[in-house]
Amino acid sequence: MTTAPETLEKQVTGATIWLTGLPSAGKTTIANELAATLRAEGRTVEVLDGDEIREFLSAGLGFSREDRHTNVQRIGFLAELLARNGVLTLVPVIAPYADSREAVRKRHQGAGTAYLEVHVATPLDVCSVRDVKGLYAKQAAGELKGLTGVDDPYEVPESPDLRIESQNQTVQESAAALRALLTERGLAA
């Protein structure tokens, strides 16, 4: 009988944590804050930023409902693949349509991979003041059409695993709330 060497690490459970919300809600900021904390503890973490995905994985897609769905499904496939292989995958992506988010959840469930949906529920007026990328200013000036939550739909999650109101707390407090959920669900120590 052969036994595994004691130097082999315990299998780490991966998961996908999808942070959805309006543009400038704080999704990426919270994800990066949590990722830094978890990496400092030795955890393997990836942040799949929506802007980077659009540049490298979904180049050529527009912002029609169909293209947005395709983009979300591509990200969901990649996230599930990483999570299935022990990576804690944080996905700060708007994903404005409930059916697209549900399809990603079902992909994870079908593979037996943990999936949590986090709604970063920052109000539109706060997001438009933050306006990290200048999208709200461009939309107000008539230079941009189809801005999620303004002149394009955003379907608010009905039953997310966690709702974060980032306007009422610091980034660190928001990340800590998400960390507490991960610990409660057995996905972080």
Q: Which residues are annotated as a binding site for ATP?
A: 21-28
CA-wise closest residue to 154 among 65, 54, 45: 65
Annotated binding site: 21-28
Q: Is 159 helix (H, G, I), strand (E, B) or coil?
A: coil
At 82, the amino acid letter reads L
Determine how many CB atoms are found less than 10 A away from the CB of residue 65.
13
Which residues are paired to 89 by β-bridges? 16, 46
CA-wise closest residue to 84 among 167, 12, 189: 12
Determine how many CB atoms are found less than 10 A away from the CB of residue 45.
21
The answer to whether 50 and 93 have CB atoms below 8 angstroms apart is yes
Q: Is 26 helix (H, G, I), strand (E, B) or coil?
A: coil
Determine how β-strand 88-92 pairs with β-strand 114-120.
unpaired
